[in-house]
Amino acid sequence: MRDFFDIKSNDNALFVTEQCNNHCLMCCQPPRNVDDIDKLYQKNQHLIRSAPKELKVLGITGGEPTLLGEKLFDLIAEIRQFLPDTELHLLSNGRSFANEAFAQRLAEVSEGMIVVGVPLHSDYERDHDKISGCKGAFAETMYGLYNLADAGVPIELRIVVNKLNFIRLPHIAQFIFKNLPFVSWTAFMGMEQTGLAHKNHNAIWVEPVDYVDLLAQAVFYLGSWGLDACIYNIPLCLLPETVWLHAEKSISDWKTQYSAQCDKCLKRQQCCGLFGTSSEEYVGLNPFMS
């Protein structure tokens, strides 16, 4: 995380705590139980005051930002005051919003200028709980999603594809249409092989080549019901051409790297590239030469 804002970057974010109430098997930012909230809050206050007013999007991330409680709303109020035209992108596991009043407070204080990115690991409760490392997480996240929707807060649903959930991707898509049709869009995300994802490699790592067909099925299914889906963090050469229009340049620019093979690739400009932070490259990279 940088200590300044770069107006040209696609990723400017406030890091608000290392604490988290989930312990996801593939977390790229492993949680730590440290008393860091006040210290980071002060630092972020300074960042907000010195930020360029033209900043389009500002992320709020952690750890789990909602563990700040009322302080999170103070922070958002400050952003609204000093950066009135900046949209917020809050990353949260959504569990705190199982409290209806908490979701309503977020809606009030963010004044319609927020999207909340919430990971859903599976349509099956026990898989979700296992991946998020916390029993009961699925139920709380689902309540949270409903309360956010009820409060009128736009939601980005995030499915981080891993070995424990890829087989159910089409079922997850069906579950989303039947139970969460109000989300603004669903993002299917390739894993960043760092942090816990690196440590738990054997339990959770899966190569995109092994799941892209199921991923395409899920994306097409959502599309057939008029729901938006996008794909983050998977380079174009690993995706069937039929889903390219869903692929986004999603990797934070300061993390993006290209493999040596990518130098000659004709699609490099359109491609999200690779995580510079990952310990290994994806299998099957295949530059477009003509």
Partner 1 sequence: MDDRAALHIFVLTLQCNQGCTYCQASSRDKHAESCTMSKEVLKRSVEFMFQSPAHVLTMEFQGGEPSLHPELVRYGIEVAENLRKQQSRDIRYVLCTNCVDVNDDLLSLCKEFNVLISTSLDGPEWLHNRNRGKADSYQKVVAGIKKAREVLGNNAVSALQTTSVMALDHPIGIVDEYVRMGFHDMFLRALNPYGLAANNDDWSQYTDRFVEFYKKAFEHILELNRQGISFVEDFATIILRKILTPFDSGFVDLQSPAGIVNSVLVYNYDGNVYTSDEGRMLAEHGDYTFCLGNVFDQYEDIVYGPKVQQLAQVWSAETLAGCFDCAWRPYCGADPVRNHSTQGDVYGFRPSSLLCRKNKTIITYLVSLIIERYDEVMPIFKNWLQ
Residues that bind partner 1 (CB under 8 A): 177-179, 181, 224-226
CB of 224 to partner 1, least distance (A): 5
> Is 225 or 254 the residue whose CB approaches partner 1 more closely?
225
Six token digits for residue 114: 């927020």
CB of 176 to partner 1, least distance (A): 10
Six token digits for residue 134: 């916390």
CB of 227 to partner 1, least distance (A): 11
> Is 45 or 179 the residue whose CB approaches partner 1 more closely?
179
CA–CA separation, 197 vs 34, rounded Å?
21
CB of 275 to partner 1, least distance (A): 35
CB of 181 to partner 1, least distance (A): 6
> Is 69 or 152 the residue whose CB approaches partner 1 more closely?
152
CB of 177 to partner 1, least distance (A): 7
Nearby residues of 216 by Cβ (< 8 Å), 6 or more positions away: 239, 240, 242, 243
> Is 114 or 229 the residue whose CB approaches partner 1 more closely?
229
DSSP designation for 25: T
CB of 283 to partner 1, least distance (A): 33
> Is 73 or 177 the residue whose CB approaches partner 1 more closely?
177
CA–CA separation, 122 vs 282, rounded Å?
23
Q: How far is CA 223 from CA 17, 23, 173, 178, 245, in A?
A: 36, 32, 10, 14, 12
How many other C-beta atoms are found inside a 10 Å radius of the C-beta of residue 285?
18
Contact 186, 228 (CB under 8 A): yes
**Residue 113 one-letter amino acid:** M
264, burial (CB in 10 Å: exposed 0-12, middle 13-18, buried 19+): exposed
CA–CA separation, 214 vs 230, rounded Å?
14
> Is 24 or 180 the residue whose CB approaches partner 1 more closely?
180
> Is 221 or 232 the residue whose CB approaches partner 1 more closely?
221
CA–CA separation, 57 vs 85, rounded Å?
9
